[in-house]
Structure 1
Amino acid sequence: MTTVTLPPGPSTPRFVQVAYSLTMPRRGMPRLRDRYGDAFTINMPIFGHAVVISDPAEIKQLFQARSDVVDNLERNLGRVLGPGSLFALAGEEHRTQRKLLVPPFHGRRLAAYETVVEEETVRELVSWPEGPAFATLPSMMRITLNVILRAVFGAEGAEFAQLRELLPALVTLGSRLAVVPVPTVDWGRWSPWGRFWAMRRDYDAVVERLITRAKQDKSLDRRDDILAMMVQSRYDDGSPMSHSEIADELLTLLAAGHETTATTLAWAVERLRRHPEVLRDLVEEVDAGGKALREATIVEVQRTRPVIDMVGRQVKAESLQLGRWTVPKGYAVLVSIALIHEDESLFPNAQVFDPSRFVDAKPDLYQWIPFGGGTRRCLGAAFANMEMEVVLRTLLRDFTLIPTDERDERWHSRGVANAPAKGGRAMVRRRATPAVQPVAAGECSEVGR
């Protein structure tokens, strides 16, 4: 038999470790690292026995491991996104489904979505008040939701309005339920899971109408939205995606790209207001038509304020040889994103917000991992970065963001994402001569609002 070799870790009862992880999510991991080193074994809520790693070589080894050795965590977002979600699929099923979904996130299609992002950003920023401080996270949530409804769902008219009303509540509740056990008894609408399942049924009904309409659209092959692509896609055996698979994957793309992207944008506002030199250089770059510093700033925001705590795998083979450790079957192996992003040997002066570190250097994808890594790296990473770049460009072009000497906003867990506690508060003034005049709300005829 293979000898199990696990890193050290706390010996306290599980309920104590659970309480510690829930009450000290941001301080707990650094303290455990300081005590036990860059790898340690813990007993986590939801995941059970887990090895937490933060060594770059071991992270790379984990992400490159075959799917028959390690695969997706058994308890994951697939519980709320549906059995057809990429989060729920494993092995060959995951590879086959992912292959169908790759094309729209690259090349011509990705470039076509930039116009949608700018239109929705300009529309939302019209409502921003001049003078008083306000939280930007709600605005960012509306922007990213509307972008996904148009670019991913191809929604317009009544379906657009229904989904815009339904999905925020569905995503908020789902992100909270993703970290708690699924009940064995359905208590109906009186319970959180009952409310979630009822909203999911409403969602499925709307998506069914969108799919039916797409199949009847004679110009379907000229549409750029991802639902249109899914309807036309075929597996290797020539079969189409089922309606339930399409619904699950649309919800997956929403969950992966809506709240996380919006939260990162709110963190960007929070960071830039506290770093006026960076803010000044960004405005100068926008006015000159450049984008290198802006792209580097987005990377640095994701490094210093990752909205997801962990990314991980489950050991499927009898054991996993991971550097110094031999991890047994059934254990989770979790990568602490914050610990790797704060590693001084990788990012000198890691606690300092310094976008210049990425201006002439692309991040190593085994050291900078806000989108995870390996075969399960976020499918929409390029889309998310494009979206954040366009939103930030539009904001800096049309508004002056007022710096502040207030303390950094604290981290606040929203279930899945870690957001600024005050919502990324901003104070703004409209710039005298924005490069593009704002579009009045309701003028966009493309989505039939």
Structure 2
Amino acid sequence: MSPTTAATLPRGPRLPAAVQSLLFMQYWPRLVSACGRRYGKVFTLRVAPMGTLVYLSDPADIKKVFAGDPRVFHAGEANAMLRGLLGESSVLVIDDDVHRDRRRLMLPPFHRDAVARQVEVMAEITAANVATWPVGRPFALAPKMSEITLEVILRTVIGASDPARLAALRAVIPPLLNVTPWTSLALLNPDLLRRRPWRKLKRRMEDANRLLYAEIGERRADPNLDERTDALAMLVRSADEDGRAMTDVELRDQLMTLLVAGHDTTATGLSWAIERLTRHPAILTKAVQAAEAGNDEYLDAVAKETLRIRPVVFDVGRILTEPVEVAGHRLPAGVMVVPGIGLVHQDSEIYPNPERFDPDRMVGATLSPTTWFPFGGGNRRCLGATFAMVEMRVVLGEILRRVDFATTTAADESQKVKHVILIPNHGARVTIRAKRPVATEPVPTGFSPPS
């Protein structure tokens, strides 16, 4: 048989699977990038407990995965490790028709007009947070960005307004979402939550559930539900073609999903943006001028280039439910095909001088969904991609209007793995020289949907 008809796997390291697993857990992006340099556009890794991974970095191969039959390319199954935290009905961990129908119900809060209504709140939250930042001494920016993005989600997505409940959510959610290898064990095996080392995690999950169910109950009872603009209200109002609405449990799972997918990820993207700008004085000056002039196009370009050169998520996976021919190999069922976001974004054939931070390359650019895909792709592209890009633009604009950052010649902060995202190793440390007065409080960046 030819290699295109017989089950075959691409080349990859010959190390034992146990060794590959250890290297992957310790050096994930570095290992994958090294394999890309050695083996080319497609290669195989064996990583427990994920199994056999076939990495792809050719846009044509990635297009085949993203455009493939969702019944064959299972993303929910690939995200199964998140089920313990997100819940069985989370849109991230389900597949097939169930996923299609659930995704359809979740789209309205992330349509263009719905996102536009949240811009002013995003700006207000940012302005209030920036007012607390220290001047004249170094500090880690990442925790501040996390505060901003969490508040944005709590107020625009969940729609929380009760002061006591808001305070409780601010206290409970961040430590719950700080998933470590240790807590991952209990998320993979919920029976461990009964044991002493994981009881604190269990209490946090119970506290979060209590607060989220209280918000759901309040929204269902709200006589002005139809007038509300928060995502939870829109989800409570939504129903499928048969008139079926989501249950409280299903709503809870989607809220937890939006918290996990839209909190640390956006905060990390924003942290990387400032980390990059403070190391490139000319670009920082241009970005400040764009913020002051309301130049959305350049602020969008800064966000896009940041997500290219420092993708928050390095790759996305699909588990094959049947044999599929990809990249000249007949891959067997059970293999996870992995479009490598980080690999493609660093490809010099696609992005000349890929190590150079250059927002100008994004100005007016028409980006292909298989050469720039920080939010994944196909039918599993992040629901909140437009929301996240608008939030990055608005928050960046507000910060740059209000803060005079000191530039630095310090080495770039390295990428550190935090669960499934890549964060700045030192939290994006910055120094503010001065706060800038602004004409009004605040002036939201104008809305236009990102291309």
Corresponding residue to 1:119 among 106, 124, 128: 124
Q: Choose 342-351 or 39-48, whichever is displaced more.
A: 39-48
Q: 2:392 is paired with a residue of what secondary structure?
A: helix
For 2:345 and 2:306, the matched residues in 1 are separated by: 11
Task: Give runs of aligned pairs for residues 286-435 of structure 1, distance below 5 A.
Answer: 286-317=291-322, 319-435=323-439
Task: Give runs of aligned pairs for residues 12-411 of structure 1, distance below 5 A.
Answer: 12-72=15-75, 74-76=77-79, 77-157=82-162, 158-173=164-179, 177-178=183-184, 182-183=188-189, 185-186=191-192, 188=194, 190-192=196-198, 194-317=199-322, 319-411=323-415
| 5+ long unaligned stretches in structure 1 | 440-449
Change in Cα spacing, 1:176 to 1:280, as seen in structure 2 (3 Å) is farther
For 1:187 and 1:253, the matched residues in 2 are separated by: 23
For 2:332 and 2:115, the matched residues in 1 are separated by: 41
1:323-356 superposed Cα distances (whole Å, 9 cap, x missing partner) = 3121100110012211110001100111111110
For 2:151 and 2:383, the matched residues in 1 are separated by: 19
Change in Cα spacing, 1:30 to 1:20, as seen in structure 2 (3 Å) is same
Change in Cα spacing, 1:177 to 1:39, as seen in structure 2 (3 Å) is farther
Contact 1:122–1:394 (CA<8 Å) still a contact in 2? yes
For 1:302 and 1:371, the matched residues in 2 are separated by: 9
Contact 1:178–1:416 (CA<8 Å) still a contact in 2? no
Could you tell me how far 1:286 is from its partner in structure 2? 2.0
Q: 1:143 is paired with a residue of what secondary structure?
A: helix
Partner residue, 1:446 = none
For 1:160 and 1:71, the matched residues in 2 are separated by: 36
Partner residue, 2:447 = none
For 1:35 and 1:186, the matched residues in 2 are separated by: 40
Aligned pair count reads: 437
Residue type matched to 1:84 in 2?
S
Change in Cα spacing, 1:290 to 1:176, as seen in structure 2 (3 Å) is farther
Residue type matched to 1:209 in 2?
A
Residue type matched to 2:94 in 1?
L
Contact 2:404–2:432 (CA<8 Å) still a contact in 1? yes
Q: 2:287 is paired with a residue of what secondary structure?
A: helix
Contact 1:123–1:438 (CA<8 Å) still a contact in 2? no
For 1:257 and 1:68, the matched residues in 2 are separated by: 26
Change in Cα spacing, 1:184 to 1:361, as seen in structure 2 (3 Å) is closer
For 2:436 and 2:187, the matched residues in 1 are separated by: 53
TM-score normalized by the length of structure 2: 0.93
Residue type matched to 1:315 in 2?
L
Contact 2:402–2:435 (CA<8 Å) still a contact in 1? yes
Could you tell me how far 1:184 is from its partner in structure 2? 6.8
Q: 2:118 is paired with a residue of what secondary structure?
A: helix
Contact 1:269–1:425 (CA<8 Å) still a contact in 2? no
Q: 2:317 is paired with a residue of what secondary structure?
A: strand
Could you tell me how far 1:363 is from its partner in structure 2? 1.9
Displaced runs of 4+ in structure 1, greater than 6 A? none
Could you tell me how far 1:145 is from its partner in structure 2? 0.4
| 5+ long unaligned stretches in structure 2 | 444-451
Contact 1:39–1:51 (CA<8 Å) still a contact in 2? yes
Q: Choose 403-412 or 430-439, whichever is displaced more.
A: 430-439
TM-score normalized by the length of structure 1: 0.93
Contact 2:186–2:193 (CA<8 Å) still a contact in 1? no
Partner residue, 1:447 = none
Q: Choose 28-37 or 161-170, whichever is displaced more.
A: 28-37
Q: 1:314 is paired with a residue of what secondary structure?
A: strand
1:265-308 superposed Cα distances (whole Å, 9 cap, x missing partner) = 11111100001111111112222221211110100000000111
Change in Cα spacing, 1:282 to 1:175, as seen in structure 2 (3 Å) is farther
Change in Cα spacing, 1:431 to 1:183, as seen in structure 2 (3 Å) is closer
Q: 1:163 is paired with a residue of what secondary structure?
A: helix
Could you tell me how far 1:208 is from its partner in structure 2? 1.7
Change in Cα spacing, 1:371 to 1:132, as seen in structure 2 (3 Å) is same
